[in-house]
Amino acid sequence: MQHATEASMQAYYAERAREYEAVYAKPERQADLAAIKAWLPAQFAGRHVLEGATGTGYWTPDAAAQAAEWLATDINPETLAVAQAKTMPASVSVQLADAYTLDGVPHTFDAAFIGCWWSHSPLRRLPDWLVRLAARFDPLLRTAVGELGAERHTDARHAREVLGWVPRPAEQTIVDTARSLIERGLVRP
């Protein structure tokens, strides 16, 4: 399910695809951008890289320069069209894919690159997204992906009725936990 904020953000970038990179033209940013572009290629030398939220591919030609394989993905065909119009290293291919779900993206990578997307992503979405991304690299995490976003509703009624269990008040539980951690030297007061 796509959230309204993300849908409007997707539409915003689709509409601005051809003009978006003007943000990088500011003179005061040139030295920093040049330093980042010089630093990026070595970080991915010989690697098989998944780039999420590629956008217009501003970083892709430099970041992918030494990569063995680079898959640039984005949810917007408009921004990917701008990226595809650029001269890219031979290792680069592109695929339409949602960075949040990565549906249809293979599990054949040993590195990931996410450019400026972090600042555009709602914080509430990042934990699930990080697990999905990490699952691309760790098969054990793939089993957890199906649990993401699932709501669990539990109660202790059965334990109360069958066992006669009476839960302690939350405040008392927190205080007892803190005392235990202090007594064991795991935290200091």
At residue 106 the predicted structure's pLDDT band, cuts being 50, 70 and 90, is confident
Average pLDDT, the chain: 88
Rounded to an integer, the average pLDDT of 3-12 is: 65
* Winning range, highest mean pLDDT, from 14-23, 49-58, 179-188: 49-58
Q: What is the pTM of this model?
A: 0.73
Tens of pLDDT, residues 119-156 = 778 888 888 989 989 988 888 888 888 888 888 888 88
User: Hey, what are 71's tokens?
Assistant: 């898959």
Tens of pLDDT, residues 67-98 = 999 999 999 899 999 999 999 999 999 999 99
Question: Exposure of 104 by Cβ count < 10 A (0-12 exposed, 13-18 middle, 19+ buried)?
Answer: exposed
At residue 14 the predicted structure's pLDDT band, cuts being 50, 70 and 90, is low
